[in-house]
Amino acid sequence: MSDDLTITDLTTSIERIPLKRPFVTHLHTVKAIQAVQATVVLQNGVTGVGAATPNEVVTGDTLVTLRSIIEEVIKPQVVGKSLSTPEPLLTAIQNSIQNNQPAKAAVDIAIHNALAELYHCPLTSLLGGAKATMATDYTISIGAPDRMAAEAQRLVQAGFHSLKVKIGNGTVDQDVATLTKISQAVGSQISLRVDVNQGWTYQQARYGLRLLAVAPLNLDFVEQPLPANQLDNLAHLRRSSPLPIMVDESVFTPDDALAVIKAGAADLVNIKLMKSGGLYPANQINQLCQAAGIPCMVGCMIEAPESLAAAVAFANAHQNVRFIDLDSVYMAKQFPTDGQLAHEGARLWLKA
The residues annotated with a catalytic role in the active site are 166, 272
Q: Which candidate, 171, 146, 141, 117, places its Cα nearest to that of 340?
A: 117
Strands 268-271 and 245-247: parallel
User: Which residues lie across from 7 on neighbouring strands?
Assistant: 42
Strands 245-247 and 47-52: unpaired
Q: Which candidate, 63, 74, 61, places its Cα nearest to that of 111?
A: 74
Strands 134-135 and 347-350: antiparallel
Q: Which candidate, 302, 323, 327, 316, places its Cα nearest to that of 349?
A: 316
At 306 the three-state DSSP class reads helix
CA-based max dimension of the chain: 66
Alpha-carbon separation of residue 337 from 259, 334, 343 (angstroms): 40, 9, 10
Contact in structure between 340 and 51 (CB atoms under 8 Å): no
Which residues lie below 8 Å from residue 155, measured CB to CB, with a gap of 6+?
138, 140, 163
d(C-alpha 174, C-alpha 269), whole Å: 26
Indicate the residue type of 265: A
Q: Which candidate, 13, 49, 48, places its Cα nearest to that of 34?
A: 13
d(C-alpha 254, C-alpha 101), whole Å: 12
d(C-alpha 177, C-alpha 42), whole Å: 55
